[in-house]
Amino acid sequence: MSFTAIILAAGKGSRMKSSLAKPLHKIAGQEMIAWVIDAANAAGATSIIPVISRDTADLEQYLENNLAGSAIAIQEQANGTAGALMAALPLIQNTTQPIIVLYADTPFIDSTIISNLTTNIQSGTDICVLGSTIDNPTGYGRLLVSSAGTLQAIIEESEASEAHKSITNVNAGIMAFNGNILAQMLQQIEPANSKNEYFLTDIVSIGARNNLKIDYFLAEQDSVIGINTLEQLAEAEAMAQKRLRSAAMLSGVTMMAPETVFLRKDTCFGNDVIIEPNVTIAAKVKIGDGCHIRSFCYLEECEIGNYNVLGPYARIRPGTVTSQDVKIGNFVEIKKATLGKGAKVNHLSYIGDSLIGDKVNIGAGTITCNYDGYNKFVTEIGHGAFIGSNTALVAPVKIGEQSIIGAGSTITQDVPDNALSVSRSDQRTIKQGATKFRSKKKANR
């Protein structure tokens, strides 16, 4: 459904105790405001207008990079939520469609709720308020409903009487408007409150006086929680993780101890994936069918092919792409590398900036020396090559197909196909040398 979404993001967020703009704090690896933008887009927003303050350059830069083509409104003065909406009015291009007001610090609003608000306005309602029922409503604005069930006003906590404070139906902040009446109603809001701010909630009582059609509906509390402190951010992270784990398991992912697995909002799983305890999956990770992720693995910005076995204690870094039947074992770090079908890096190795062919076997302790202190270089290993344990491959270097590198070698030159390359000193054995060494040491005590 077509509508304009206005996302209020100009709050100072002083209770976060952070120099980072509050909407940029992340939940499940994604900025809070990104959760809201995604929900608005999923519901069919034709225009999204964020409202920010002048002193949040980091937020402005983020929006310019991630919300291309959208205008950004600036709230010059911290004069309340209605003041923020007034700042967005000049940027609204179509007032004949519904206008939905969202909040950057209410990340769990979903597209279904937004669509319901839009439908309510399209059916003839002028103002529709989203609320929730909360056992302990302290801090929230209360929904003042008449005996006939009509929403009459929203009473802010700071303005509420003791009788009002007993009301458990509270304002979630999110509202929908008939675009044709919004500007006129905003102009009637006065800063007649203890904070001398323009409260958007006053638009309900103003609308009632003007005989507008006003409606409300209640959503689950989890969908409308607001984030104002780092403690609340941690609580929201726990909620998001629970949702993501549940969704993954419902789609066929096996988790042995789901409470110990951490996901991101954009994690993609194939079928029949098994995840052992204490696994962290960071942003931009795709895991193919039939993969087994063993304990204490950490994955980020990588694409794991079908039927891979990772870990335990494997670290898969950005830019890594693996093919089918790859094995990456314990204490292996892979960074910006492509591994071919059936490749194995089973233990204690670092593989960076590398192109690894099919059925390559990389022995324990192998290191691709990809950095000279100034630039990164690529190591190429051909199909079927065998890299012996404790090998250093000094990039740029190419190891040919079906070649063998002897254990303990330092390879600085290209190795042709089917060659055997060994680079180490000849072994020297001194008979009774150990006995003589110990005797000398004892004599010098």
pLDDT digits (tens, 9 = 90+) for 24-46: 999 999 999 999 999 999 999 99
Per-residue pLDDT at 286 exceeds 90? yes
Q: Which amino acid is at 323?
A: S
Element (H, E) at 274: strand 274-275
pLDDT band for position 160 (cuts 50, 70, 90): confident
Q: Which of 269, 273, 306, 274 is nearest to 285 (CA)?
A: 269
Question: What is the overall mean pLDDT for the chain?
Answer: 95
Per-residue pLDDT at 195 exceeds 80? no
CB 22 within 8 A of CB 104: yes
In this predicted structure, what is the pLDDT of residue 298?
98
3-class DSSP state of 373: coil
- Identify the residue whose tokens are 């209360």: 142
CB 88 within 8 A of CB 6: yes
Q: Which of 343, 282, 289 is nearest to 317 (CA)?
A: 282
pLDDT band for position 197 (cuts 50, 70, 90): confident
Side-chain-side CA neighbours of 248 within 13 Å: the count stands at 30
Per-residue pLDDT at 445 exceeds 80? no
Per-residue pLDDT at 313 exceeds 70? yes
- Region 414-434: mean pLDDT is 93
Per-residue pLDDT at 70 exceeds 90? no
Token readout for 52 is: 């920010």
Per-residue pLDDT at 138 exceeds 90? no
Per-residue pLDDT at 412 exceeds 80? yes
Residues of the chain above pLDDT 90, percent: 86
In this predicted structure, what is the pLDDT of residue 386?
98
In this predicted structure, what is the pLDDT of residue 191?
87
**pTM exceeds cut of 0.75:** yes
pLDDT band for position 203 (cuts 50, 70, 90): very high
Per-residue pLDDT at 363 exceeds 80? yes
Q: Domains along the chain?
A: 3-223 (3.90.550.10), 230-421 (2.160.10.10)
- Region 132-138: mean pLDDT is 90
pLDDT band for position 193 (cuts 50, 70, 90): low
Top-confidence residue, 428 or 358: 358
Determine the Cα–Cα distance for residues 121 and 100; give it in Å rounded to an integer.
10
Determine the Cα–Cα distance for residues 308 and 285; give it in Å rounded to an integer.
14
Q: Which amino acid is at 246?
A: S
Determine the Cα–Cα distance for residues 347 and 311; give it in Å rounded to an integer.
9
In this predicted structure, what is the pLDDT of residue 271?
97
pLDDT band for position 196 (cuts 50, 70, 90): confident
Active site residues: 347
User: Within 10 Å of residue 264's Cβ, how many Cβ atoms?
Assistant: 22
Q: Which amino acid is at 330?
A: N
Determine the Cα–Cα distance for residues 334 and 224; give it in Å rounded to an integer.
40
User: Within 10 Å of residue 310's Cβ, how many Cβ atoms?
Assistant: 29
Side-chain-side CA neighbours of 116 within 13 Å: the count stands at 14
Sequence-ordered strand ranges (E) for 367-428: 367-369, 379-381, 386-387, 392-394, 397-399, 404-405, 410-411, 420-421
How far is the CA of 264 from the CAs of 267, 282, 384, in angstroms?
A: 5, 6, 35
- Region 412-439: mean pLDDT is 93
Sort 76 into a burial class: Cβ within 10 Å, 0-12 / 13-18 / 19+. Answer: exposed
- Region 59-85: mean pLDDT is 92
CB 118 within 8 A of CB 43: yes
CB 110 within 8 A of CB 39: yes
Alpha carbon dihedral 80, 8, 71, 216, in 10-degree steps, equals -100
Top-confidence residue, 314 or 196: 314
In this predicted structure, what is the pLDDT of residue 269?
98
Residues of the chain above pLDDT 70, percent: 99
3-class DSSP state of 427: coil
- Region 128-142: mean pLDDT is 91
Per-residue model confidence as pLDDT tens digits over 325-353: 999 999 999 999 999 999 999 999 999 99
Q: Which amino acid is at 398?
A: K
Beta bridge partners of 404: 386, 420
Element (H, E) at 185: helix 179-187
